[in-house]
Structure 1
Amino acid sequence: MSNMNASKGKENSTENLPSTQTTKVKTGKEFTLTAKEATHDFGNGTKLPVWTYDGSVPGSQIRVKQGDKVKVNLKNELSEPVTIHWHGLPVPNSQDGIPGVTMNAVQPGKTFTYEFTASVPGTYWYHSHQDSVNQIDKGLYGTLIVEGKDEEKVDKDYTLVLDEWISSGESSMEGMDHGSMTSDKDTKDTDDSTESMDGMNMDMEEDMSMYDLYTINGKSAKNMETLKVTEGDTVKLRLVNAGYISHKIHVHGYDFKIVSTDGQPINDPAIIKDQTVTVAPGERYDLVFKANNSGTSYIESHDDTDAAKNMVAKIVYDNSKKANDKLNPKESLPNVDITKYGKTTKSEFSLDTKFDVDYKMNLGTAMKDNSMVYTINNRTYPNTEPLDVKEGDLVKVTLKNTSKSADHPMHLHGHFFQVLSKNGKPIEGSPLMKDTLNVKPGEEYVVAFKADNPGNWMFHCHDLHHASAGMVTEVKYKGYKASFTPDSKANNKPE
């Protein structure tokens, strides 16, 4: 891995690059997002070259209304091809932004226009899906908010994007501690060439400690995000995890409700007191609380790492004179179990539904050519077995994590799925609709979705180190023909 970037010193130079700007909020129906380089000051003495949409980290927030026909022009001013994937929002397959699968990557100096209808309200995000493990690490992401026609009004609406960085500035693929993870993975099936490590001592599984700089909205330490409120405000927090590590978030000093996850509403959410909410890579959680703790308080990470102490957002009242709340990131608090949260009600699927397709995905780890790979049913992409469906099919998928220590936040493009059971027990709380689900070692979930959006759709782990090392498959609709012609010169890298 150490030889991946021979020009690393040059790339890490911040000379001659403009400084990042404050993230803009863009409203309307037509937008331009420009991918370009900048230098970002994290606030702890660290400055790094970053890749951005519109010169900020995160990139511009796009806010549209449910039902809007949206047009986004992606202008590429970087030295490498890029795309935009609209994470969680169901769009036509041709607009999903997957190089080599739904489009050719947008080349340096070129522009591509995405068009879709913002049909489902909620909190979403967008990011490059070209060599995404590295391009997202460099900062190529932003948020997309679809305002619902009937959504509850709030006084303040804040989006908090969680991320983690390598302060040395090297790429995440360089920093990984298990060899060249992608070696020869696309040359043949791995059935005969991998040695399964399931159940073995997995000390070799990835070490994420090189991510030593945690941020909220690109800010850390003295630059921490400040959320201004007025006494009595109803405040919405949209938590988005754009990184590769799960984060336990505590809203210090407030009772709150989780009103939605991955943009999908929770039925009859209960008041939560003194619990953390774990946000896994790719997931989103919308929290609502009442501003009734006058003074200064915090939203803080309770992760068990030194870097977590800088993952903080300060809540400041407009009449506040002094801080009256102290940070306590080491406080031991229980974590909300989203599979038991809210109240049950009628839903589209149950374990008794008659399904047309029943697919099992064992999410594992293996060695191949002295390198770590991440597998689905002992295979690595592009040789994983696809989920073949017909439009209208009801599809059941069993996700089982057979890795010893690695989480696998599994993300399905183009669809929401309902979580039906965890470790053999039916979900107890609200019907749980998601597009990203974190499957921890030893866990097994059954999920279901309707095949109602024709195309070729990726289904992959959103720890993108795992995706780039093989943990990707596709949902393929029978008879669907992609509307683009793959270009061998486009350098398409879909993982």
Structure 2
Amino acid sequence: MKINRRDFFRLGAGATAATVLAPYHFALADDGFLEIRAVKAAQSLYPDSPTSTLWTYNGTAPGPEIRVKQGERVRVRFINELEEPSSIHWHGIRIDNAMDGVPGLTQEAVKPGERFEYDFVAPDAGTYWYHAHNKSWSQVGRGLYGPLIVEEPYPTFDAEHDMTLVIDDWLLNQNGQFDEGSMGMMMDWSHGGRLGNWITVNGISHPELTLKAGEAYRLRLINVCNARTLELDPNRFDAKILAFDGQPLPEPIAMPYEPYLLSSAQRVDLLVIPKQGQDFALEELSGNSPFPFLTFRVTGTGTGTGPAMVPKLTPNPLAEPDLAQATVHPLLITGGAMGRFDGITYQGKPLGRASMMQSRQFWAFNGVANLPEQQFFTAKRGETVIIEMVNDTAWPHAMHVHGHHFRIEEREGSTIDEGRPWKDTFLIGPSQTTKIAFVADNPGKWLLHCHMLEHAAAGMTTWFEVV
């Protein structure tokens, strides 16, 4: 059977269900470092199909789940056993700049056969992840990612009630195998990015989990898709939002609109208290009919912790922006299919149609395609920064700021950011203007880019400096 994008929304009825999610295993080296190796490995992505050759951390996609307590050190020895350079970026962590893992900005890419030691403190509790940051469109798309969970220093949800769900979409061929030959297609780079036709959770097709009625669970959803924005509706199973991008809300809230758009690289923590006899599923809603990709079976009589016993999460110590003293930096996003390309430069030269096709640079920030030599702006440490982004393209973009969390202060034509939750990635719609604000309190050179990874490779990357 040939699998195409239309099939994405109707496959699964016959998929073999897993009763549990694959466990993560790792061992520390004698010196206390967790060794993570980038290696090729065989892994099945579609039921009853041949295995695919993926690029993995320690032999599986996703790689090992790293769990530490807030304030503890993360010590990882990255060993590159692939045939091309790579690095690891720790997404969402307010990290020391030298450990951010961005080749060409904070470190050199780790060559084949070489290693690099990452050593940093995890200052904020929450749901984060790590992934390759060299040729991310290819390396992440082939499986180089894993979850990083920073636990609160006080008791919250125990291991049985705290579940990490790493969600990816894969483009499979007619044999149900990863379609390596489709990587890097120009259509993906200039349009909406690479979209898959099959979803896995923690590397498993259509898994099932068993929950106990009446007990409180924390579901940590991590969207690691190259470009897909997942359309979800937590209200379908009475879930509440505990946290966005790792940052807890003052109180759990019901999602005030549907569908909820979880863009590439974003995370959301859901609070679920299952009801007796009411199984439910996580469903992707962008097709003609809902596509269930994770099923929950509910057992028990409903005499559990109940809503009154839900652990309360404490906000992380993030500095509040001082809007009255802020400096404002406009960022105009142009290019892409059906967009305008006038006035775009690449590597200091005007980008014409022929050079655009040759260089594969289809997008620009303030008229510059891809990582420029000159920083977008420089901020003094402690300065409040407002970035006013204008998306003058026909496509949405998942904008990610390294090293900082921000508040969305204003989004044209929308009120979905009421309460101004902290984010490190947000989705800006076509022809939309959005203002974000944060305190530039983390010194160093920081990347700002679209996390639809083909868009980043095709020009949507810049940087700023905190001095």
TM > 0.5 = yes
Asked if residue 212 in structure 1 is aligned to residue 212 in structure 2, the reply is no
SS at match of 1:281: coil
Structure 2 residue aligned with 1:378, among 351, 363, 367? 367
Partner of 2:244: 261
Residues 232-270 of structure 1, C-alpha deviations (whole Å, 9 max, x = no match): 221111111111110012348521111110111122333
Matched, 1:93 2:97: yes
Task: Give the equivalent residue in structure 2 for 1:401.
Answer: 391
What secondary structure sits across from 1:139 in the alignment?
A: coil
2:27 counterpart of 1:57? no
Matched with 2:46 is 43
**Counterpart position of 1:336:** none
| Matched letter for residue 39 of structure 2 | K
SS of residue matched to 2:334: strand
Alignment partners' CA distance in 1, 2:193 and 2:461: 21
| Amino acid across the alignment from 2:187 | D
Secondary structure of 1:380's partner?
coil
Tell me which residue corresponds to 2:24.
Answer: 24
Pick one of 201, 208, 211 that aligns with 1:229: 211
Instruction: Tell me if the contact between 1:421 and 1:447 (Cα under 8 Å) persists in the aligned partners.
Output: yes
In structure 1, the partner of 2:403 is: 414
CA contact (8 A) 2:35 2:78 kept: yes
- Residues 207-356 of structure 1 correspond to what in structure 2 (within 5 A)? 208=194, 211-220=196-205, 224-243=206-225, 244-251=227-234, 254-272=237-255, 275-294=258-277, 296-304=279-287, 309=291, 312-318=293-299, 348-349=320-321, 352-355=323-326
In structure 1, stretches of 5+ residues that fail to align are 1-20, 182-203, 321-345, 479-495
Residue 457 of structure 1: aligned partner: 446
Name the CA distance, whole Å, in 2 between partners of 1:397 and 1:27: 42
Question: Which of 321, 332, 339 is residue 362 of structure 1 equivalent to?
Answer: 332
TM-score, reference length from structure 1: 0.75
> Residues 199 and 293 of structure 2 are in contact (CA less than 8 Å); yes or no, is this contact kept in structure 1?
no
**Displacement of 1:160:** 1.4
Q: Aligned letter for 1:231?
A: A
Q: From the superposition, tell whether residues 265 and 295 of structure 1 become closer, same or farther in structure 2 (CA, over 3 Å).
A: closer
Distance 2:123 2:235 in 1: 34
**Are the structure 2 counterparts of residues 374 and 173 from structure 1 closer, same or farther at C-alpha, using a change threshold of 3 Å?**
farther
Matches for 1:99-114 after TM superposition, within 5 Å? 99-114=103-118
What is aligned with 1:163? Answer: 168
Q: Which amino acid aligns with 1:358?
A: V
Aligned partner letter, 1:157: D
| Greater Cα offset, 416-425 or 284-293 | 416-425
Query: Residue type matched to 1:119 in 2?
Result: P
CA deviations on 1:259-313 (whole Å, 9 max, x unpaired) are 110111122333359944321011000000102142532112112278x73x511
- Local SS of the residue matching 1:63: strand
CA distance in 2, matches of 1:435, 1:289: 24
Q: Secondary structure at the match of 2:252?
A: coil
Contact 1:66–1:119 (CA under 8 A) maintained in structure 2: yes
Structure 1 residues 347 and 382, CA gap change in structure 2 (3 angstroms) = closer
- Once the two structures are TM-superposed, the CA of residue 317 in structure 1 deviates from its matched residue by 3.3
Instruction: Report the CA distance shift for 1:394/1:253 in structure 2 as closer, same or farther (over 3 A).
Output: closer
* CA RMSD between the two structures: 2.7
| Contact 1:246/1:278 (<8 A) preserved | yes
Which residue pairs with 1:175 in the alignment?
185
Whole-angstrom CA distance in 2 between matches of 1:65 and 1:423: 38
Would the alpha carbon gap of residues 30 and 233 (structure 1) be closer, same or farther in structure 2, given more than 3 Å must change?
farther
Q: Secondary structure at the match of 1:465?
A: helix
Note the alpha carbon deviations across 1:358-409, whole angstroms, 9 max, x for none. 10111111454253611111211233752211212111111121101x1111
One-letter amino acid of the structure 2 residue matched with residue 389 of structure 1:
A
Which range moves more in the overlay, 51-60 or 423-432? Answer: 423-432
Partner Cα distance (1:99, 1:138) in 2: 19
Shift of 1:74: 0.9
Paired residues, number: 400
Asked if the contact 1:417–1:435 (Cα under 8 Å) also holds between the matched residues in 2, the reply is yes
Cα deviation, residue 130, structure 1: 0.8
Does the CA contact (< 8 Å) of 1:255 and 1:272 recur in 2?
Answer: no
1:347, distance to aligned residue in structure 2 (A)? 8.4
Structure 1 residues 171, 287: CA separation in 2 closer, same or farther (over 3 Å shift)?
farther
> 2:362 aligns to what SS in structure 1?
strand
- Aligned partner letter, 1:277: Y
Q: Alignment identity in percent? A: 31
Q: Distance in 1 between matches of 2:413 and 2:231?
A: 25
Q: TM-score, normalising length from structure 2? A: 0.79
Taking a change above 3 Å as real, the CA distance of residues 167 and 46 of structure 1, as seen in their structure-2 partners, is: farther
Question: Which consecutive unaligned segments of at least 5 residues does structure 2 have?
Answer: 1-20, 174-178, 302-317, 342-352
State the 1:146 CA deviation: 0.1
Q: Which piece of structure 1 moves more, 142-151 or 162-171?
A: 162-171
Tell me: CA distance 1:205–1:295, structure 2 relative to 1, closer, same or farther (3 Å): closer
Residues 426 and 163 of structure 1: is their aligned pair in 2 closer, same or farther, counting only changes over 3 Å?
closer
